[in-house]
């Protein structure tokens, strides 16, 4: 993966419209985790 692609991915996952993020689990595998909705705070 190029650094350019990494940056694009980072920007995508930092977008408020994206309702999930990737978290690395205990076994080292990435998993998708839903973000808490800001509207519910």
Q: pLDDT tens digits, residue range 7-36?
A: 766 666 556 666 677 778 788 888 877 777
The predicted pLDDT at position 28 comes to 85
What is the domain range of residue 19?
Answer: 3-34
Give bridge partners of residue 20 from the DSSP assignment: 34
User: Structural domain tally of the chain?
Assistant: 1
Sign of torsion over alpha carbons 29, 26, 31, 20: negative
Q: Which alpha helices (H) appear in the chain, and where do they start and end? A: 3-13
* Residue 24 resides in a domain: yes
13 and 21 Cβ atoms separated by less than 8 Å: yes
Model confidence band, residue 2 (pLDDT cutoffs 50, 70, 90): low
Task: State the pTM of this model.
Answer: 0.28
* Residue 25 resides in a domain: yes
* Residue 40 resides in a domain: no
The predicted pLDDT at position 22 comes to 76
The predicted pLDDT at position 40 comes to 53
* Residue 20 resides in a domain: yes
* Residue 41 resides in a domain: no
């Amino acid at each position: 993966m190029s650094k350019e692609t990494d940056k694009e991915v980072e920007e995508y996952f930092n977008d408020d419209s994206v309702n999930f993020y990737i978290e690395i689990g205990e076994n080292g595998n990435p998993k998708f985790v839903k973000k808490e909705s800001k509207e519910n705070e």
